[in-house]
Structure formats: C-alpha cells, structure tokens
C-alpha cells in the first residue's frame, strides 16, 4: 500500500467510545500517535494518545490485547524498536489500536487501560541517535540570508542541494521542559572584540520534525522511490537559536553553540500512516529554477510529497500568564512552503551512504511563508531586531524575553477527512 493511500482507520465515520476523542483537535481516533508517557508515580511506557486520554500499550500487552512480538516491542520504554519495523507492521498495529478504541465490544477490556493525559509526564519518544537539521523553508532562507548576507541571500547551491547540517541530539527535550537562556560569545556591532555573556538575541524557529523508521546500512543509499519507507512519523520542533552567537560563530563550519543549548519537540510521533490523507502535490518550482537532479526526482513524490499541514506559533509572555491572558498567535502558514519534500531530504541524507537509524530525527528547517503573517522566527518578524512588533497587550518584542513561553502547533486538513494535529510543542525561557 502506498504511503498516501488511506484505509478504514481514516474513515471519517469512525468514532471512539472514548468520548473526548470526538472533535478533538489533535487526537481523534483517526490520529493515534505513539509516545512515551509516565503515569504519576510510575515508570515510562509506550502510549497512544486518544482525545484527552492515553492508552497504555504496555498494559495492553499484559492484558493480552496485543499478541505475538507486540508483547515485547510494546513493553519497551522507548519507541526505537517500534520505529525499526517496516511500515506494514506499524499499519497493522494502528488498525488493531483503532479497533480497540472504536469497537464498543472492546470497551470493557480497554477502558481501564486509559490514563488521563493531564496526569501523565511525557518523555522523549525515542533515543535519538543522530539529529540533522535541514533548511528547506525557502522563504526563511531568503529572509535570513538577506540579514546575514544582504548581497547574496540565497547561495547558488540552494536550489540543487537540500542543505542540511548535523545538530546536537543530547540537548533535545520534550515539550514542557524549560529552556535556560544560553551564554556565549557575541561580537556587538562596532566592538573590537567579542564578549561572553547571556544571549541578547534569543529566538525560536518553527520546524517540522521527521522521525526515521527502518533506516539504511552504512554505504547503501536510499532511492527516492523508497524514501517514504524510512519515514515513520512527524512532530513539531522548536530549534531555539541565539542569533548573536550564530552571527559570530557560524563561519566557516555552520551553527554550533547558537543552537545546541536546547531544542524542543512535541512528544507524540504522528505516524506516516496517520498523515496518509494529508498529502498534496509538491508546488511547482518557480520558472527558471532548475529541476532536482535525477536522484531526487520521483513522480509519486512530486504528486504527493507535500504536507497539508497548517503551522502556528503562539507566544504567552510572563505578564500574560500573570494576568490570565491566553497566548497570542504570532504567525501561521502552510507546510507547503518547503522547497524540498521530506522524501527528498531523506534520500539526499543517505545519498553518500550515510546510515540513518530508527529514532533518528530530521528537522526541516524553519518553515516561513513569503509574507509576514507566516514568518516562522522572531528574527524575521522583527527584521533582525530592527523593527520590534507589538503584542495585543501592548508589550513589544524584538527577540524572546525571559519568561516567554513559545508554543508551536500544527493541524492537518483534507477534504472528506477528519483533521488531526501534531500536539503542542511548548517551552518557557528561564533567565541565564
């Protein structure tokens, strides 16, 4: 079955006996994302989000609701083994879980295995072996390139090479873990020497995260036509960035301490299967742009490789929290602003034989729209700090302040299907 084909688990008429799933913006029964959660006072285990609840898959194995090798795989405390499975195995598990949660006959056995999500602590879903961040948001690349290199915003390789670089796996944290404002070297404008101290240009970046499934062996590339088999699912990713450190350190080897102090991801892996209805044709390249080289070109990918996701960034300042005000939305835009598809970045990454492993994480890079309402970082919204903007409560921002909480969200929509969401990616900034 092809990655963009739907089955009975996507049927919009399907409902769950777990009432909170109906109309749930993120986790209706058509989603069924995997995550690692710990009920209060208990150890971490695999769960599936359904409405406001989490189905405890480990408990499902104990209750013999999952059989065969699912007994072992679903009793793990990370998703790495599950991610290593081929997509048809994930799809089989998805069908089984969908049946458990929709069929009224299963309710008596399954309902005791649901936990309140509000009472659970989420963990990272997998042991992340390697984390790679790409740069596929062409409007972001243009906007930021213009600030760093006014005469040369988009470098000549951009439209041929899905530009990427390795990030830091150890400092990736799940939604909810606060971010400490980092210290580092920056060179103030017109200063003769750099100084060391807390960043004064802290920023967020709105990205999609891609979870690698089976992976490839060292030395063996992944053909573009098979890339989807290696994409297990998606999350949101906030690639926190200290712009002052970045400007000073990034040449010639790329961003380092400007990024690796922490990255935040949403804790649920929304599977490639759940996303099956939410594929779009990859937007045609602007006239004059080169075609991708053959190793990155597939008809199926051009027809279905873009994602029907709407991305949003919200901000809740400390004052808003204290005064009981809801977060304000800073931007929203579609994920179709990716110049390269997910399959293209996977194939490119492995094209030299680099081995991807189950549980590796790829970031897309910041996804900005062409216009201001869809800018995916504060650097873009406030023009590199030169044009601070006003929030609804009168506060202004040029960069992220201590006490600010940044919240990323994403919703997938397609005609005739029930919308699903990726869940929240949020973190509050602590003083240095």
Which span (13-21, 329-337, 351-359, 414-422) binds a second copy, by CB under 8 A? 351-359
Q: Which is nearer to a second copy, 240 or 375 (CB)?
A: 240
Residue 182 tokens read as 């980092």
Among 23, 92, 180, 393, binds a second copy (CB under 8 A): 180
Would you tell me how many other CB atoms lie within 10 Å of the CB of residue 304?
A: 21
Q: Does 267 bind a second copy (CB under 8 A)?
A: no
Q: Does 426 bind a second copy (CB under 8 A)?
A: no
Q: Does 205 bind a second copy (CB under 8 A)?
A: no
Among 185, 318, 336, 411, binds a second copy (CB under 8 A): 185
Place of tokens 């008809």: 299
Task: Provide the 8-state DSSP code for 17.
Answer: S
Q: Does 374 bind a second copy (CB under 8 A)?
A: no
Among 30, 98, 175, 262, binds a second copy (CB under 8 A): 262
Task: Provide the 8-state DSSP code for 238.
Answer: E
Q: Which is nearer to a second copy, 361 or 420 (CB)?
A: 361
Residue 334 tokens read as 């579609």
Q: How far is the CB of 220 from a second copy (least distance, A)?
A: 9
* Nearest one of 39, 70, 74, 67 to 53, comparing CA atoms: 39
Q: Does 278 bind a second copy (CB under 8 A)?
A: no
Exposure letters 22-34 (e unless 16+ CB within 10 A, then b): eebebbbbbbbbb
- Please give the Cα distance from 191 to 327 (Å, whole number): 37
Among 4, 11, 62, 129, binds a second copy (CB under 8 A): 129
Q: Which is nearer to a second copy, 189 or 193 (CB)?
A: 193
C-alpha R_g of the chain: 21
Residue 249 tokens read as 């350190």
Count the alpha carbons within 13 Å of 276 in the hemisphere toward its beta carbon: 20
Q: Which is nearer to a second copy, 115 or 243 (CB)?
A: 243
Beta bridge mates, 406: 315, 427
Among 290, 394, 415, 431, binds a second copy (CB under 8 A): 290
Q: Which is nearer to a second copy, 5 or 166 (CB)?
A: 166
- Please give the Cα distance from 345 to 192 (Å, whole number): 40
Residue 72 tokens read as 């072992």
Where do the DSSP E strands lie in 51-159?
Answer: 53-56, 114-116, 120-122, 131-134
Site for a second copy in 215-254 (CB under 8 A): 218-219, 221, 242, 245, 248-254
Catalytic residue among 24, 123, 139, 140: 140
Would you tell me how many other CB atoms lie within 10 Å of the CB of residue 354?
A: 16
230 catalytic residue (yes or no): no
Which span (60-68, 91-99, 274-282, 287-295) binds a second copy, by CB under 8 A? 287-295
Q: Which residues are catalytic?
A: 140
Residues forming contacts to a second copy in the complex (CB under 8 A) are 129-130, 135, 145, 148-149, 155, 157, 160-161, 163-171, 173, 180, 182-185, 187, 193-196, 218-219, 221, 242, 245, 248-257, 260-262, 290, 293-295, 348-349, 351-357, 360
């Amino acid at each position: 079955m092809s990655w963009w084909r739907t089955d009975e688990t996507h049927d919009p008429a399907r409902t769950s006996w777990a009432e909170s799933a109906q109309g749930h913006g993120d986790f209706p029964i058509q989603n069924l994302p995997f995550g690692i959660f710990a009920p209060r006072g208990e150890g971490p285990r695999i769960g599936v989000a359904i409405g406001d609840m989490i189905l405890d898959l480990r408990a499902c194995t104990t209750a013999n609701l999952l059989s065969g090798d699912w007994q072992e795989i679903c009793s793990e405390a990370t998703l790495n083994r599950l991610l290593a499975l081929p997509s048809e195995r994930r799809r089989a598990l998805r069908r089984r879980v969908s049946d458990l949660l929709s069929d009224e006959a299963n309710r008596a056995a399954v309902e005791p295995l649901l936990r309140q999500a509000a009472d659970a602590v989420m963990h990272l879903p997998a042991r992340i072996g390697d984390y790679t961040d790409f740069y596929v948001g062409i409007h972001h690349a243009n906007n930021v390139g213009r600030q760093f290199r006014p005469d040369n915003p988009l470098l000549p390789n951009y439209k041929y090479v899905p530009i990427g670089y390795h990030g830091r796996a150890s400092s990736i944290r799940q939604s909810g873990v606060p971010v400490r404002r980092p210290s580092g070297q920056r060179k103030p404008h017109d200063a003769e020497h750099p100084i060391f101290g807390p960043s004064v240009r802290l920023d967020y970046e709105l990205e999609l995260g891609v979870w690698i499934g089976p992976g490839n062996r060292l030395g063996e590339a992944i053909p573009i036509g098979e890339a989807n088999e290696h994409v297990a699912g998606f999350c949101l990713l906030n690639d926190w960035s200290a712009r002052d450190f970045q400007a000073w350190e990034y040449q010639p080897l790329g961003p380092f301490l400007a990024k690796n102090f922490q990255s935040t991801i949403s804790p649920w892996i929304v599977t490639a299967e759940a996303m099956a209805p939410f594929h779009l044709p990859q937007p045609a390249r602007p006239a004059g742009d080169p075609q991708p080289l053959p190793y990155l070109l597939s008809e199926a990918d051009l027809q279905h490789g873009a994602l029907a996701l709407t991305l949003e960034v919200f901000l809740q300042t400390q004052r808003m929290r204290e005064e009981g005000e809801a977060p304000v939305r800073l931007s929203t835009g579609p994920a179709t602003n990716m110049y390269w598809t997910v399959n293209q970045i996977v194939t490119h990454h492995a094209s030299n034989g680099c081995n991807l492993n189950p549980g590796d994480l790829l970031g897309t890079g910041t996804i900005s729209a062409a216009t201001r309402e869809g800018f995916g970082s504060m650097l873009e919204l406030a023009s590199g700090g030169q044009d601070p903007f006003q929030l609804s409560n009168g506060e202004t921002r040029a960069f992220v302040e201590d006490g600010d909480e940044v919240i990323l969200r994403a919703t997938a929509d397609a005609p005739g299907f029930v919308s699903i969401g990726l869940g929240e990616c949020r973190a509050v900034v602590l003083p240095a």
